Amino acid sequence: MASTGTIARMTNAATDEGLVLVSYGNRGVIELPDGSQAGCQYRRSLGRPYCGDHVRVERVDEQTFVVTEILPRQNEFARADNRGRKQVIAANLDQVLIVIAPEPAPSLDLVERYLVAILSLGIQPVIILNKAELMCSAGAPDDGPLSHLDDYRKMSYPVLTTSCKGPPGISTLAPVLDQKTSILVGQSGVGKSSLINAIMPDHDLQTGALSRVTGKGTHTTTTTILYQLSSGGKLIDSPGVWEYGLWDMSQQDLATGFVEFEPCMGHCKFNDCQHAGEPDCAVRAAVELGEIRAWRYESYLRLLEQQSRT
């Protein structure tokens, strides 16, 4: 691989655009316009591109490029790190697929945490109920996300049902993934890996091809990777065991994640109303009138309290 000095001496080099498939350390793997893949290095002055970034590159040698520009992003997908700080893990997504299952049952506010974060980032959420065959045997807790699937649908959130072991299968996913860039997220054990293998029969082949580009492997158990779907869409996999948490965000951003609050905005007595018991609160009035679901409002209050403790 060329040294930093070699990169610095390059002049009038041919430039091209690439799509970042894998990003780790000071290097990654890009897909070029002709569909080929190549290793790339990052210039320190540019920062590190994310999986899904579109970049401008210059050729170092026959197999390696250097990133000279990170092109403007449509959006960034993030999660909280172990210190509660915002950590971007991918860029330029069309949608986030939130995978839940009867076993393990999702925690009380898990879906709301996802929805708040995804909406604050300007990305479309899609809720996937996987392991549908277990719904009858597992049942649905009265106050958990599984009991509110119809409510999510009524709030215009897409809700799909899948199973990798029988009906309804994964046929509902094909039209949703077609020609879009998506990421699968969800707690450990909900079947993300099974879904990915069912969606992409060539998953292992694509992973192996990425590893061969650099000869150093892609650390597939921890590295975020972008895969190509036969439909023409793209799927980002961010493996590893992690419970999704919100980074430190403002009360306004948190409230924005509850889309049904929007008609009430600007109608509270106080401009800085947190909708948490203040007098003449329009949100609270809407809850009492049944215009906002009580369980959603209670979830908002719990998330607001958690944010106040960070």
Tell me which of 3.40.1000.10, 3.40.50.300, 3.90.1260.10, 3.40.1110.10 is the CATH number of domain 76-208+215-237.
Answer: 3.40.50.300
Give pLDDT, residue 215: 63
Look at domain 251-309 and name its CATH class.
Answer: mainly alpha
Closest CA to 280 of 300, 291, 266: 266
**What pTM was computed for the model?**
0.88
CA quadruple 113, 116, 119, 123: dihedral, nearest 10? -10
Q: Where are the domains of the chain?
A: 4-70, 76-208+215-237, 251-309
Report the distance separating Cα 206 and Cα 29, nearest Å. Answer: 12
- Judge whether 76-208+215-237 and 251-309 match in fold: no
Give pLDDT, residue 10: 40
Structure tokens at 213: 């580009």
Query: What's the average pLDDT block by block, 10 residues per block, for the chain (310 residues)?
Result: 37 76 91 92 91 94 88 94 87 96 92 93 96 77 85 96 93 94 92 92 82 63 84 85 74 92 96 95 98 97 87
Half-sphere exposure of 106 (CA within 13 A, CB side): 31
Q: Is 111 in contact with 119 (CB distance < 8 Å)?
A: no
Sign of the C-alpha dihedral computed for residues 151, 141, 261 and 258 taken in this order: negative
Instruction: Provide the residue type at 15 as one letter.
Output: T
Q: What is the CA radius of gyration of the chain?
A: 22
- Find the helix or strand (DSSP H, E) in which 31 lies: strand 27-31
Give pLDDT, residue 55: 97
- Find the helix or strand (DSSP H, E) in which 160 lies: strand 159-161
Give pLDDT, residue 64: 79
Give pLDDT, residue 262: 95
Superfamily of 4-70 according to CATH: Nucleic acid-binding proteins (2.40.50.140)
Give pLDDT, residue 310: 65
